[in-house]
């Protein structure tokens, strides 16, 4: 069972036990004239039960063996999405920064590899407020790292993480998530632009509410003509159980039942429309397609 102590213990041991193997520019694709790159922020080190806990054990055993998963520890990659359209330089999420896990927080090095400076970033768009997506927004002096950027987040997500009651109700394993999010969002509150479901946030980029992993989680569709990519954040959180059994609640989701319904609908749409997706925790840079596989789905990576 996951608790705060086991979660933080895994974080502290990650640099010694499982050093990150990073691909700085994990994958890239063009949608019309829009250049999209995924950048490695490193990886997380999690107790396996944080994701797999509570799932039907007999069926889960088959999936664990199929994907070669550890039943003790999982090391999901973290893929930040960089979008450049010739006018705007947009980051979807900013990674974990230095204060979450030592195996993560490597975005600065990834940007440097592509010769992108912090001051070049015009917009920072958040899928949600979990540490591995949000905590990289401030420097060691608690100043915004992306000082020239407009920061964008769904209103419901911002309100949830800045509500003082959240830290009291989110559960012991995630208390630090809430405290850390509130502190960071408080610093950038005056530069935050709130976005709504269906809104075109920038030319060719539209928000889509995908709740469950967190209350106001959002995905983002990037489109040019008939070509498109969906940045799904953690609405589809891994390449194994999320695809094999999307309707199973996951321990990583704050509202397991709602997240499962969101995930199943999103996978069905992506497979039917043959739309590419970028997942924050999907392998090989996170870019790929969804294929229907009987009653399940399959992630097919593209590089």
Q: What is the mean pLDDT of the chain?
A: 92
Would the pTM count as exceeding 0.85? yes
The label of the residue with tokens 């590899």 reads: 113
| Overall average pLDDT of the 53-65 stretch | 96
Q: Which residue has the higher pLDDT, 7 or 175?
A: 175
| Whether residue 1 has pLDDT greater than 90 | no
**Domain count across the chain:** 1
Which pLDDT belongs to residue 31? 95
For the segment 202-241, what is each residue's pLDDT rounded down to a tens digit?
999 999 999 999 999 999 999 999 999 999 999 999 999 9
CATH label of the domain that carries residue 88: 3.60.15.10
For the segment 149-173, what is each residue's pLDDT rounded down to a tens digit?
999 999 999 999 999 999 999 999 9
Which pLDDT belongs to residue 12? 38
- Using alpha carbons, list the distances in angstroms from residue 34 to 89, 152, 159, 181, 213: 10, 20, 31, 31, 28
For the segment 96-148, what is each residue's pLDDT rounded down to a tens digit?
999 999 999 999 999 999 999 999 999 999 999 999 999 999 999 999 999 99
Which pLDDT belongs to residue 160? 98
The C-alpha atoms of residue 273 and residue 281 are separated, in whole angstroms, by 22
Burial class of residue 42 in the structure, from the number of CB atoms within 10 Å of its CB (0-12 exposed, 13-18 middle, 19+ buried):
buried
Instruction: Residue 278: give the domain boundaries.
Output: 4-301
Q: Which residue has the higher pLDDT, 103 or 4?
A: 103
- What number of CA atoms fall less than 13 Å from residue 220's CA on the CB side? 29
| Overall average pLDDT of the 265-269 stretch | 98
């Amino acid at each position: 069972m996951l608790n705060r102590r086991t979660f933080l213990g895994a974080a502290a041991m990650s640099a010694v036990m499982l050093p990150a193997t990073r691909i700085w520019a994990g994958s890239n694709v063009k949608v019309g004239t829009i250049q999209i790159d995924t950048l490695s922020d490193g990886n997380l080190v999690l107790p396996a039960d944080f994701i797999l806990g509570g799932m039907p054990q007999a069926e889960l055993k088959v999936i664990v063996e199929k994907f070669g998963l550890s039943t003790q520890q999982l090391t999901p990659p973290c893929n930040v999405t960089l979008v450049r359209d010739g006018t705007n330089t947009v980051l979807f999420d900013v990674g974990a920064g230095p204060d979450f896990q030592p195996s993560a927080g490597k975005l600065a090095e990834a940007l440097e590899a592509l010769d992108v400076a912090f001051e070049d970033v015009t917009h920072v768009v958040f899928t949600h407020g979990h540490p591995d997506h949000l905590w990289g927004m401030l420097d060691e002096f608690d100043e915004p790292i992306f000082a020239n950027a407009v920061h964008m987040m769904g209103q419901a997500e911002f309100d949830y993480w800045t509500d003082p009651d959240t830290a009291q109700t989110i559960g012991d394993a995630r208390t630090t998530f809430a405290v850390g999010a509130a502190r960071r969002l408080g610093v950038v509150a005056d530069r935050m632009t709130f976005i709504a479901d269906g809104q075109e946030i920038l030319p060719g980029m539209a928000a889509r509410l995908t709740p469950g992993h967190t209350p106001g989680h959002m995905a983002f569709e990037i489109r040019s003509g008939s070509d498109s990519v969906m940045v799904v954040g953690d609405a589809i959180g891994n390449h194994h159980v999320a695809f094999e059994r999307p309707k199973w609640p996951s321990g990583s989701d704050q509202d397991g039942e709602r997240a499962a319904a969101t995930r199943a609908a999103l996978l069905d749409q992506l497979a039917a429309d043959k739309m590419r997706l970028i997942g924050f925790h999907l392998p090989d840079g996170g870019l790929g397609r969804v294929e229907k596989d009987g009653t399940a789905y399959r992630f097919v990576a593209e590089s």
